[in-house]
Amino acid sequence: MLIGCGKDEVKKEIITGNNSTFNWKDDLSVSEIPDFDIKGSLNGKEVRFPYIVFEKWRGSNDNVLNFSTVKAEQQCGYIENYQGFQLINKGKAITKTGFVKAKFNDEPETYRAFFRYLNSDGTSFISDAGWDCALSIEKISDKIVSGKVAICFNDERKSWIAGKFEAVVCNN
């Protein structure tokens, strides 16, 4: 369902599924992460994520969750013109304790989140919008990371990602 009255009014999208709902908001907690499969809204368009990977970057020791709208040709492969969401813990591991950045203006310490999409002219847009996040990790192994996440961005189109996921581990 899309709700909007005026041309200048920001649209608010409400997604339902598996008897759960998720609303974009400026204050998140782990209890608000929905139980449906991961999906979102990227620059005002509903998106799904057929390619989800958890990368451990050697050298920098960054840990990255990538949610891509297209699948790479090879598992753990590079995606040219990447479109989707990323959550990065710079220089540190993402652990089973999870992570919460409840409000847009909270200090995320070593975490960073952004989204990327292609403009109509083919140029890449990378967000610098404020964000909030709730991440709950259920399983971490050498091959799979699974859990639930909700991230909302304070951009004009109210981009977000939310739901449960399973990511393949890639050591890059």
- pLDDT digits 0-9 by tens, 103-145: 999 999 999 999 999 999 989 999 999 999 999 999 999 999 9
Distance CA 77, CA 161 (A): 22
> By the 8 A CB rule, do 158 and 11 touch?
yes
- 3-class SS of residue 73: coil
pLDDT of residue 60: 87
CB-count burial class (<10 Å; 0-12, 13-18, 19+) for 64: buried
Q: What is the DSSP letter of 10?
A: P
Distance CA 117, CA 126 (A): 7
- Residue 116: how many CB atoms within 10 A of its CB? 18
Average pLDDT, stretch 94-102? 92
